[in-house]
Amino acid sequence: MTFKLVWTNEAYVQHKEIMERANHPQPESGNEKKKSSKQLGLAKQVNKTSALLAENPKHPGLQSHSYDGIANPFTPGKCVWEAYVQNRIPAADRLFWCYGPETGRLTILAITAHP
């Protein structure tokens, strides 16, 4: 089953900032690169993670597991899930999501560095 992704305002802003940093990086002192490979890589990883999530939230590459640090905004007591955007790097980014609010939808709650 393919899911439709819904973004909270917070997650939408976080996603937009990641994409803007990838497309318009801040110049680094002494480095004249047009694009920051680190920021561009993160943008690609976030897009890949959200695409895999829409296709199959149980995809093994996402390593989705429940996360207790965020309350489910739609159904108190139901799980919020954490999916890996990055792995094996310091402060690896994670995408937090939950099922709902309607059948066939997943809500992206936040994109943050690993807590």
pLDDT higher than threshold 70 for residue 35: no
> What pLDDT score does 16 carry?
95
In DSSP terms, 111 is beta-bridged to 95
pLDDT higher than threshold 90 for residue 90: no
All residues at 6 or more sequence positions from 53 whose CB lies less than 8 Å from its CB, including other chains:
3, 5, 59, 62, 64, 83, 95, 97, 106, 108
* Mean pLDDT over the full length of the chain: 89
Q: What is the mean pLDDT of residues 92-104?
A: 94
Q: 18: pLDDT confidence band, cut at 50, 70 and 90? A: very high
pLDDT digits (tens, 9 = 90+) for 52-77: 999 999 999 999 999 998 999 999 98
